[in-house]
Structure 1
Amino acid sequence: MSKLIEINYNNIDLIQFYEPLDDGSFVKTETGMLFPFATRKYKNRNFVFPIAIGPGQKKTYYFLTWTSGGLSLPILLWNQDSFILHNADVQHGLGIYYGVMIVMILYNLFIFFSIRDISYFYYVTYILGFLGIQLVLTGHGFQYLWPEYPSLQRNFYVFFTGICMSSALLFAKRFLNTKENIPIWLDKSMKVMVVAHAILVITPLLFPPEITVKIALLLSLPVLFMIPTASVMSFLKKFRPARYFLLAFTVLLVSGIVVVLRFINILGNTFITEYGLYLGSTMEVILLSIALADRINIMKREKSEAQAKTLEMQKILTESYARFVPKDFLANLGKESILDVKLGDQIQKDMSVLFSDIRSFTTLSEQMTPAENFNFINSYLGRMSPIIQRNHGFIDKFIGDAIMALFQKNVLDAVNAGIEMQRYLKIYNDHRNKQGYVPIQIGVGIHSGSLMLGTIGAEERLEGTVISDTVNLASRIENLTKIYGSRIAVSESTIEEVKRDGRFHFRFLDRVKVKGKKIPVSIYEVIDGDEPEEQDLKIATKDTYEKGVNAFYSNYFEEAKVHFEKVLNIFPQDKATQLYLKRLYPVTKDQSFDEH
């Protein structure tokens, strides 16, 4: 009866099989990893020997083995049909295993080239090394990939072990962020073992397998301790990516222990004990791929959160910068960010300039402590700023209690802002009265024209500002409101727009020679911001007042006096009219009416 003897372990350098003959002699058959694969009678990854035993016969067969590595001799007796069926099942099972490993290699290699995360490269080389070890240990590498090179079969275990272990350590260090999550001594020990296994890769070129295999086994032991320990420490530090990593290596470690227990005969020869390592390593590479995907998701979320925080911080910084340098100022300079601003940036623009100032502020300040003074200014400015912004203007600077604002779209925006400021002042004064504070008055001066907007200072200290005669004149006009008792005074260029619009009430104040100007300028008063009673009286007396002004500038002083007295009979508190009458007592044709 024909039978087959199988040694279910293929990493044996030399096997001598002695088959007994009827005359008492033996026929010797030599095989093993020292010989090319083609010399085997049965082209199988394991060593298979045919025997012939008749019914009731007893024969004794002998094996002589020699190998450079560990030795295991699980001997199985088969009939040919059973062996063929079993071998087909094993081939199919290992084919699926190799297919899974190759798919994982290609999948993670594709991700590596897509996102350039070095973790995936380490993981790919780790799987390649592990797969190489399995091809050596199962004998399929010798059977299909390098059958003519026995020396490769004898040395590839060491070569692939070096690649596998060094890559596993690098992958673990990178994946678990060991520099932060484990003790320094363990992290440095892992680095040492990376170098040691990298050197192991080239040892087959220098030493025989009898030496290198033992070195490889010896160097593998610390790695089996280091990686699980690092993963447990990272997990205990609540490093989330360590979850799947720890699970993956736990599965592999358990499957490896099961196989070892089978080899030392503690566990029996079952499907789990025989193929547990393949199942464990398959689960491991799948779990590690999930771990990498989870890590990428975590990194994406952290990156997204970091970007959101950065954007929020940038928004906060932008808003903070805008408190010092208005975004409208930057927009006029053609800059998107304050980071783009350089010393000397400038542009010429036609704009309206509004100056406002609190009347008798010095006297008010003397009645307050420095803290009260500070709080008062902030309270006032905080209420006036939104009015300017609402009317498409922006504040260029605060000068103590004074406001300097710029309007670029429409002259009437500046006028309307000044009116709203005066109207809101009544509400603010009611609030101050309830708090026991005295009411305040403000003057507003507006002028429109060309100005230079830009940055001045030094490289280490910049300031945005506007420079031109337009700005100076707007400031001078605001100062005149104190003299003429006006709430809002504007220049002739501004009043032309007011006339065309027709919404606001105004009257001529005077022609004055302001400081820095040789030619007198005409000043007008917009009265829509006055108290309703005063506004009504100014409207009611406007015709008479303007007749008086025209007569005055035509040197008809007696006629002017009559008109101005009529105004005062109706509106005794009209300060502008009072000033004209003062000029007429006494008056000469040579008198100068300039205001300095």
Structure 2
Amino acid sequence: LLIPLAIWKSESFTENLNQESALWGFYYGMCIIMCLYHLFLFVSIKDITYLYYSAFIIGAAGFTASVMGQGHEFIWGNFPKFSRYSILVFWFFAVASFSIFSTKFLELHRLTPILNKIILGFFSLWTFFLFTIFLFPDIRLISRLLPIFAIVSFPFIIVAGIRSLQKGFKPARLYLLAFASFLLGGLIYAAKSIGWLPHNIFTNYIMQIGNIGDFLILSFALAGKWNLMKDEKEHAQKEAAAHKEALANSYARFIPQEKFSLIGKKSVTEVSLGDASEAEITVLFSDIRSFTTLSETMSPTENFEFLNALMKRTGPVIRENNGFIDKYIGDAIMAIFPDSPEDAIHAGIQMKQNLFLYNARRKVKGLPELRIGIGINTGRVIVGTIGENERMDATVISDAVNLASRIEGLTKQFETTMLISEQTLFRLPDPSKFKYRMLDQVYVKGKKEPVAIFEIFDGDPPEIFSMKCIMQRSFEHGVQSFQNGEYSDAINIFKKILNVNNDDVQAKIYLDRSVKFSKQEKILVFNGFNH
């Protein structure tokens, strides 16, 4: 047994005592600051790891105070029984706290479940001794067991840190460094105690220096883990947001996002069965003329390739003009323009122009010319979800939609490309922007009042467009004469138009009608065709 003995002069002793007091004040001050700081983090972040770490700091500081006698001198001197057991109490409290802290900090339940169970077993053992220590009349036996417990348990904790690091848990590096600091301090202190190292201020306080280093390094480790968790959380949130966006984009390829906006929803995830709202929109229908005959000459694969090639030219035009395709119906499309009827007409004109260029390329390849029909109508509609909870769809319900479809069908009878209703024309901010002529008043199935329809001839081939502009007033005069039952006047007008422009198909149709009506035995006043 080595008992260090030093003889001091009075002044030197006082000076040394003041230095020691300052050092101990610094040590315990650091312990208090670190403990309070991590308790604050526990309250703020709600991560119990910080609570366990604060408990470990209390245990380590209490153990030191017990060993050095400062606890008995300044804190629990009036409790002699506790003073007798305080070394063991704080030892078990410190190692129990550090054990449970290690399992949480190193995430052993996820990375190394077996080591997690072993260290939790040691935690249970330390906790058992902590609460039963006062039942032992002789503490010498249990005191002798302390080094054995440390030798047995600490290697598992070291291995747990190494395994966590091997599994890619980066904060385990600082954890191992902190443990190494603690062990190094213990080894130096042991070497000093058995005489291998001299007694000096460094070796005398190496345990405390090791503790402070341990506390600081583990604090950095906790901060690193928190930053890692924060980064992982942000990464997970970004991935979740990207997945949600990708999912929304995928849904949008089948159900347009704009349709959800019409019912006041931001995305498909907010939609419920029965959601609905009313709005005024413009509906555009378009389909390919004689597609059935055309499709019979192609294989199924060629049919889809042909349709997709054509739709790729149509979709961008719709979107560029503030509309969206609501649905594909075979070779037809239904598009919605929620802002202005003008958008729909611009889109229709552009579709005509694109088709003209597309047909020019087909002609070079020896392919037949394609023709389309475009019908446009404006009105109030109900946009909502129908179906059942397991299968629903967003749809648009209104006579305005049915009328747009039927107007598109009239393009076949009048052999024209683009027709609009009077509702669309009258809602245009400036109808003079477009070239149009009244084509007819028709009774559409399901409607009691006749509907005026107008041909938009913007986008027609230049020579046809020019002649229609020249003969526009004459054509409308001829239509008015026909509707008034003045068939002879109508015949003369349409003949003059055809003498100037023999390619005016609609003038030919009216000429044939006028001749047919003029031959009736009883003159009938025209009051609209039924379609």
TM above 0.5? yes
- In 2, the alpha carbon distance for the partners of 1:199 and 1:210 equals 18
Q: Structure 1 residues 499, 537: closer, same or farther in 2, change over 3 A?
A: farther
Which of structures 1 and 2 has the bigger CA Rg? Answer: 1
Letter in 1 for 2:252: A
User: Structure 2 vs 1, CA of residues 432 and 94 (structure 1 numbering), >3 Å: closer, same or farther?
Assistant: farther
Quote the Cα distance in structure 2 between the aligned partners of 1:135 and 1:433: 99
Question: What are the residue-to-residue correspondences of 1:401-416 with 2, within 5 Å?
Answer: 401-416=331-346
Q: Which of 536, 548, 551 pairs up with 2:466?
A: 536
| Cα drift, residue 431 of structure 1 | 4.8
Cα-to-partner distance string for 1:320-369 (whole Å, 9 max, x where unaligned): 22222222211111112222211111122222111111112112222222
When residues 552 and 79 of structure 1 are mapped into structure 2, their CA distance, relative to the original with a 3 A threshold, is closer
Determine if contact 1:393/1:414 at 8 Å carries over to the other structure: yes
**2:385/2:393 contact within 8 Å kept:** yes
Aligned match of 1:254: 184
Following the alignment from structure 1 to structure 2, what is the Cα–Cα distance between the partners of residues 350 and 77? 100
CA shift for structure 1 position 274: 2.5
- The aligned residue for residue 253 of structure 2 is 323
Using the TM superposition, give the Cα deviation of residue 152 of structure 1 relative to its aligned residue in structure 2, in angstroms: 1.4
Partner of residue 204, structure 1: 133
Compute the TM-score of the two structures, normalised by the length of structure 1: 0.83
* CA–CA distance in structure 2, aligned partners of residues 250 and 239 of structure 1: 18
Of 279, 303, 308, which residue of structure 1 is paired with 2:209? Answer: 279
CA separation of 1:435 and 1:230: change in aligned 2, threshold 3 A: farther
Q: Distance in 1 between matches of 2:442 and 2:455?
A: 14
Match of 1:525 among 424, 449, 455: 455
Distance 2:69 2:362 in 1: 96
The alpha carbon displacement at 1:590 in A equals 4.0
- Say which SS state the counterpart of residue 344 (structure 1) adopts: coil
Report the equivalent of 1:505. 435
Distance in 1 (CA, whole Å) between partners of 2:249 and 2:392 is 18
Query: Per-residue deviation at 1:318?
Result: 2.2
Residue matched to 1:594? 529
Show CA shifts across 1:47-86 (max 9, x none): xxxxxxxxxxxxxxxxxxxxxxxxx652414245254443
Q: How far does residue 311 in structure 1 lie from its aligned partner after superposition?
A: 2.0
Task: Work out which of the residue numbers 550, 555, 571 in structure 1 matches 2:485.
Answer: 555
Q: Greater CA deviation, 458-467 or 228-237?
A: 228-237
Q: Could you report, residue by residue, the CA deviation over 1:243-296 in whole angstroms, capped at 9, with x for unpaired residues?
A: 211111111111111222233333343444322211111111011111111111
- Counterpart of 1:479 (choices 409, 418, 426) is 409
Q: Distance in 2 between matches of 1:75 and 1:148?
A: 29
2:102 is the alignment partner of 1:172: yes
Change (3 A) 1:367 1:319: same
One-letter amino acid of the structure 2 residue matched with residue 202 of structure 1: F
1:42-121 map, 5 Å: 73-79=2-8, 81=10, 82-121=12-51
User: Which amino acid in 2 is paired with 1:257?
Assistant: L
* Residues 318-327 or 329-338, more deviating: 318-327
| 2:230 is aligned with 1:295 | no
Work out the CA distance in 2 between the residues paired with 1:439 and 1:160: 94
Kindly report which structure 2 residues correspond to 1:162-561, keeping only aligned pairs within 5 A, or say none: 162-182=92-112, 184-208=113-137, 209-432=139-362, 437-498=367-428, 500-561=430-491
Q: Which moved more, 1:507-516 or 1:584-593?
A: 584-593
Aligned-residue offset at 1:531 = 1.4
- For the residue of structure 2 that corresponds to 1:453, the secondary structure is strand
Contact 1:349–1:452 (CA under 8 A) maintained in structure 2 = yes
Distance 1:435 1:143, change over 3 A: farther
**Aligned equivalents of 1:583 and 1:166: distance in 2?**
103
Is contact 1:356-1:442 (8 Å) kept?
A: yes
More helix by share: 2
Cα distance in 2, alignment partners of residues 270 and 196 from structure 1: 37
CA change 1:591–1:571 in 2 (3 A) is: same
Q: Deviations over 1:15-59 (max 9, x none)?
A: xxxxxxxxxxxxxxxxxxxxxxxxxxxxxxxxxxxxxxxxxxxxx
Which runs of 5 or more residues in structure 1 are unaligned?
A: 1-71
Distance 1:436 1:181 in 2: 69
CA contact (8 A) 1:355 1:478 kept: yes
- Give the drift of 1:499: 8.6
In the alignment, which of 67, 74, 83 is matched to residue 153 of structure 1? 83
Is this contact kept in 2: 1:432–1:438, CA < 8 A? yes
Q: Which residue matches 1:60?
A: none
- Cα drift, residue 185 of structure 1: 2.6
Percent identity, aligned pairs only? Answer: 38
Where 2:49 maps in the other structure, the secondary structure is helix
The residue identity in structure 1 corresponding to 2:40 is F
Looking at structure 2, the residues matched to 123 and 499 of structure 1 have their Cα atoms a distance apart, in angstroms, of 72
**Contact (CA 8 Å) 2:483, 2:525: kept in 1 or not?**
no
The answer on whether the counterparts of 1:326 and 1:396 sit within 8 Å (CA) in structure 2 is yes
Tell me the distance in 1 between the aligned counterparts of 2:506 and 2:82.
111
Report the Cα distance in structure 1 between the residues aligned to 2:99 and 2:416, rounded to whole angstroms: 83
Q: Which residue of 1 aligns with 2:500?
A: 570
Aligned partners of 2:26 and 2:128: how far apart in 1? 33
Q: 1:245 to 1:427 in 2, by over 3 A?
A: farther
Residue aligned with 2:358, SS: helix
C-alpha separation between the residues in 1 aligned to 2:171 and 2:6? Answer: 48
Structure 1 counterpart of 2:392, one-letter code = L
8 Å CA contact retained: 1:487, 1:529: no
- SS in structure 2 at match of 1:470: helix
SS at match of 2:446: coil
Match of 2:513 among 569, 583, 586: 583
In the alignment, the residues of structure 2 paired with residue 410 and residue 315 of structure 1 have an alpha-carbon distance, to the nearest angstrom, of 29
- Give the superposition deviation at 1:386: 2.0
SS at match of 1:446: strand
State the alpha-carbon separation in 1 of the partners of residues 365 and 101 from structure 2. 70
| 1:331 alignment partner AA | S
CA distance in 1, matches of 2:35, 2:297: 82
Please list the CA deviations of residues 404-425 of structure 1 after superposition, one character each: whole Å capped at 9, or x if unmatched. 1122222212111111211122
Does the CA-based 8 Å contact 1:407-1:413 persist in structure 2? yes
Deviates more, 1:202-211 or 1:287-296: 202-211
Q: Aligned pair in 2 of structure 1 residues 437, 301: CA closer, same or farther (>3 Å)?
A: farther
CA contact 1:162–1:199 (8 Å) conserved in 2: no
Cα distance between partner residues in 2 of 1:406 and 1:97: 75
Rounded to whole Å, the distance in 1 between the matches of 2:361 and 2:93 is: 81
Note the residue ranges of structure 2 that are not aligned, 5 or more in a row: none
Q: TM-score, normalised by structure 2?
A: 0.93
The residue type paired with residue 553 of structure 1 is Q
Q: Closer, same or farther in 2 for the Cα pair 1:343/1:499, shift >3 Å?
A: closer
Report the AA paired with residue 277 of structure 1.
M
Q: What letter is aligned with 2:224? A: D
Q: Tell whether the 8 Å contact from 1:514 to 1:595 is kept in structure 2 after alignment.
A: yes
Q: In terms of mean alpha carbon deviation, does 512-521 or 399-408 score higher? A: 512-521
Q: Is this contact kept in 2: 1:157–1:213, CA < 8 A?
A: no
Q: Secondary structure at the match of 2:205?
A: helix
Question: Which deviates more from structure 2 when the two are superposed, residues 442-451 or residues 220-229?
Answer: 220-229
